[in-house]
Amino acid sequence: MHQRILLGLLVTSLLIPVALWAQAPAASQAQPSQIQPAAPAIIGPARIAWLNLEQAMLSCEDGKQAFGEVQKFVDKKNSELEQLRKEVETLRNQLNVQGPKLTDEARADLEDQIEGKDTLLQRFQQDTQKEIDSRRVRATNAIGRKMLPIIEKMAREKGLSAILYINPSRDAYIEPGLVITDEVIRAYNAAYPATAAKPPAAAPAKTP
C-alpha cells in the first residue's frame, strides 16, 4: 500500500508555566550543624484549568489560515506524488507485457528507468515530508509565541495556579467548566483579528 504524504499536527508541549506565587530564595550556604529546618509554606488551594492546545491553535483565525495553507501544499504534493506513482506503474506494466519480446539491451534500459523513477519517488516523499514538517513547525511556533502571553494573562486574571494541557491518555474526566479552550481562542482572535482578504483589483476599462 502506498503511503501518502501526511500533515500531522502534533503540537509539541510548549512550556507555559503559570507561577502565581514567589519561590523562596535559596538558603545561604551554611555548615550542616547550622542548617535549620525550613518552615512549611502556607499555600491556599490550587486553582487549575485545562486547555486543548491543539484545538486552540487549529481553531483560532491565524491557525485556520496558516494550517490551511500548509494543507494546500500537502494536497498539491500528494497530486504530484500520485503522478509519479502512475509513471512508475506504467513502466512496470510495460516491462511485464513487453519484457519477453524486448532485447536484453532494451529490457535493461527499461529496468533502469524503473529503478530511477523509484529512487526519485522515494526522495520526493522524504524531501516533501521534511518541507511539510518544517512548515507545520513554523506555523505552530509562530502562533504559540503569540498565544503564550494571552494564556498567561488569562491565568493571572482568573487567579489560576496552573493551566494544564488536556491529555486523553491521562485525563479520565475534566469538569467542562474548567476547560478554557474556547476562551483562549476568543481572546486570541480579539488580540489578533483576522485580516480581511482584499478584493481582486478591477480590470482597467478599455478605451473605445
Model confidence at 7: pLDDT above 60: no
What is the pLDDT at residue 100?
A: 84
Residue 165 near residue 14 (C-beta atoms within 8 A): no
- Decide which of 193 and 39 is more confident: 193
pTM above 0.85, yes or no: no
What is the pLDDT at residue 3?
A: 55
- Alpha-carbon distance 70 to 195, whole Å? 18
User: Domains of the chain: which residue ranges?
Assistant: 46-191
DSSP 13-67: --------SPPPPPPPP--GGGPPPPPPP------EEEE-HHHHHHHSHHHHHHH
Instruction: Give me the mean pLDDT over the 61-68 stretch.
Output: 96
Instruction: Give me the mean pLDDT over the 29-49 stretch.
Output: 60
Residue 181 near residue 188 (C-beta atoms within 8 A): no
What is the pLDDT at residue 44?
A: 65
Reduce the DSSP state of residue 197 to 3 states and report it. coil
Residue 208 near residue 182 (C-beta atoms within 8 A): no
Report residue 46's pLDDT band, with 50, 70 and 90 as the boundaries.
confident
- Decide which of 160 and 39 is more confident: 160
